[in-house]
């Protein structure tokens, strides 16, 4: 099946699945985002999503191959993602006109299994490096989401984040990958006051952008964010060259009204070593976003290297929020 870049989701596959039935998806190709800007593109990991219709939840490919189980009885549908999802069932929140400026296509193969996906993949494997063997390795070596954290539905799942430990043996979250993006969330319900402080430790081994991150072409970064009860979030990041305390609305159009970026550190000094941070959340919000909202509802870890197709290598640990009276440990 070939999915044209300009066709908004969803496309019927003709494949009927029973609830609980395993299926695997194999894809290749490239979607270009803007004519004349060859570096702005992505492949199946960003663009290809699946759902079983009617009533199934959307799933994205974490690699160029992935396997799933149908969550309802129905027909498998495939869709190319561009913009923002409104919900976990695949309704677009952004204008489908975004697709008109895309070019390229993805070629997709789907195999519906009668038994387990792993047994089927092993039976089809002919050489160690073929797509079936690659997917079998993914199934045998799953990347577990750290306990208490979950992927942001609008962005989808990824293999970027994994449970780890810092140098003292305390829990940490490792970020490792390239040409990828993801957001990992920890739900919470914490009042926001002038005394609210966000503290964390992080170790960035390299910066995913070589130039200022405040344009779409260079918007690659690693950060921690607080999401508030008004639906907005403030994200603190380590910039390659922007001055500390600089802030800006997200340059990606469909995120600009939702997310604001705030520079905590700048430059390469300190890379490869654990750094301890503390931010006055109320003050930073007031400075960068306007009147502070009432509560923090989630903390995010964000990793993006999909614009310049670079590498992501970092760890986070000791994430907590306090207000002078109470302390909430999140990692």
In the predicted structure, residue 324 carries a pLDDT above the cut 90: no
> 């092993």: which residue's tokens?
122
In the predicted structure, residue 112 carries a pLDDT above the cut 90: yes
Nearest-angstrom CA–CA distance, 198 and 299: 10
Task: Please check whether residue 284 lies inside any domain of the structure.
Answer: yes
Residues 127 and 186 in one domain: no
Task: Please check whether residue 114 lies inside any domain of the structure.
Answer: yes
Domain enclosing residue 22, as ranges = 2-140
Residues 238 and 311 in one domain: yes
Nearest-angstrom CA–CA distance, 315 and 107: 35
Residues 46 and 195 in one domain: no
In the predicted structure, residue 289 carries a pLDDT above the cut 90: yes
- How much is the average pLDDT of 6-23? 96
Task: Please check whether residue 89 lies inside any domain of the structure.
Answer: yes
Residues 118 and 157 in one domain: no
Exposed/middle/buried for residue 4 (C-beta within 10 Å: 0-12, 13-18, 19+): middle
Residues 158 and 267 in one domain: yes
Residue range 41-77, pLDDT digits in tens: 999 999 999 999 999 999 999 999 999 999 999 999 9
Q: How much is the pLDDT for 144? A: 84
Exposed/middle/buried for residue 163 (C-beta within 10 Å: 0-12, 13-18, 19+): middle
Q: How much is the pLDDT for 127? A: 87
Could you tell me if 292 and 179 are in contact, meaning their C-beta atoms sit under 8 angstroms apart? no
User: 81: Cβ–Cβ under 8 A, 6 or more apart, which residues?
Assistant: 9, 46, 47, 48, 49, 60, 156
pLDDT confidence bin for 16, thresholds 50/70/90 = very high
Residue range 92-111, pLDDT digits in tens: 998 899 899 999 999 999 99
Q: How much is the pLDDT for 66? A: 96
Among 115, 140, 165, the domain-final residue is: 140
Residues 239 and 300 in one domain: yes
In the predicted structure, residue 36 carries a pLDDT above the cut 90: no
Residues 71 and 175 in one domain: no
Residues 259 and 309 in one domain: yes
Task: Please check whether residue 145 lies inside any domain of the structure.
Answer: no
Q: Which is more confident, 35 or 239?
A: 239
Task: Please check whether residue 157 lies inside any domain of the structure.
Answer: yes
pLDDT confidence bin for 128, thresholds 50/70/90 = confident
Among 140, 169, 188, the domain-final residue is: 140
Q: How much is the pLDDT for 20? A: 97
Could you tell me if 306 and 180 are in contact, meaning their C-beta atoms sit under 8 angstroms apart? yes
- Output b/e per residue, 13-30; b: 16+ Cβ within 10 A: bebebeeebbbbbbbebe
Task: Please check whether residue 40 lies inside any domain of the structure.
Answer: yes
In the predicted structure, residue 220 carries a pLDDT above the cut 90: yes
β-pairing verdict for 233-239 and 259-266: parallel
> 């390795």: which residue's tokens?
137
- How much is the average pLDDT of 259-281? 97
Residues 9 and 45 in one domain: yes
Residue range 173-217, pLDDT digits in tens: 999 999 999 999 999 999 999 999 999 999 999 999 999 999 999
Task: Please check whether residue 242 lies inside any domain of the structure.
Answer: yes
pTM equals 0.94
Residues 259 and 314 in one domain: yes
Radius of gyration of the chain (CA): 21
- How much is the average pLDDT of 4-28? 96
Q: How much is the pLDDT for 34? A: 86
Counted domains in the chain: 2
Percent of the chain's residues with pLDDT above 90: 91
Q: How much is the pLDDT for 296? A: 98
What is the domain-level CATH number for residue 188?
A: 2.60.120
DSSP structural state of residue 289: T
In the predicted structure, residue 221 carries a pLDDT above the cut 90: yes
What is the domain-level CATH number for residue 129?
A: 2.60.120.430
Residue range 158-172, pLDDT digits in tens: 999 999 999 999 999
Residues 208 and 133 in one domain: no
Residues 170 and 308 in one domain: yes
Percent of the chain's residues with pLDDT above 70: 100
| Continuous H helices in the chain | 44-47, 117-124, 131-140, 281-288
pLDDT confidence bin for 253, thresholds 50/70/90 = confident
Calculate the alpha carbon distances from 210 to 21, 73, 203, 310 in Å: 45, 47, 18, 9
CB-CB neighbours of 49 under 10 Å: 21
């Amino acid at each position: 099946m070939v999915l044209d870049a300009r066709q908004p989701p969803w496309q019927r596959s003709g494949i009927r699945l029973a609830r609980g039935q395993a299926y695997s998806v194999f894809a290749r190709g490239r979607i270009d985002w803007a004519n004349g800007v060859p570096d702005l593109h992505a492949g199946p990991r960003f663009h290809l999503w699946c759902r079983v219709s009617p009533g199934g939840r959307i799933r994205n490919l974490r690699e160029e191959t992935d396997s799933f189980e149908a969550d309802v009885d129905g027909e498998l549908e495939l869709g190319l993602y561009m913009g923002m999802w409104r919900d976990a069932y695949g309704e677009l929140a952004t204008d489908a006109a975004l697709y008109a400026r895309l070019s390229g296509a993805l070629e997709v193969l789907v195999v519906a299994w009668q038994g387990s996906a792993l047994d089927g993949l092993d039976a089809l494997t002919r050489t160690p490096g073929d797509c079936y063997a690659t997917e079998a390795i993914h199934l045998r070596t799953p990347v577990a989401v750290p306990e208490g954290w979950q992927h942001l539905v609008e962005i989808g799942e990824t293999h970027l984040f994994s449970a780890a430990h810092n140098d003292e043996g305390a829990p940490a979250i490792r970020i490792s990958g390239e040409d990828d993006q993801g957001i990992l969330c920890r739900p919470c319900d914490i009042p926001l006051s002038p005394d609210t402080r966000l503290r964390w430790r992080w170790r960035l081994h390299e910066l995913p952008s070589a130039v200022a991150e405040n344009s779409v072409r260079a918007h690659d970064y690693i950060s921690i964010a607080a999401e508030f009860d008004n639906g907005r979030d403030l994200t603190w990041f380590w910039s390659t060259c922007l001055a500390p305390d600089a802030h800006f609305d997200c340059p990606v159009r469909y995120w600009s009204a939702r997310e604001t970026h705030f520079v905590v550190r700048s430059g390469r000094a300190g890379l490869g070593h654990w750094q301890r941070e503390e931010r006055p959340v109320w003050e930073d919000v007031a400075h960068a976003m306007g009147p502070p909202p009432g509560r923090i509802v989630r903390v995010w870890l964000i990793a993006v290297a999909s614009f310049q197709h670079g590498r992501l290598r970092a760890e986070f640990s000791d994430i907590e929020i306090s207000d002078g009276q109470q302390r909430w440990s999140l990692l």
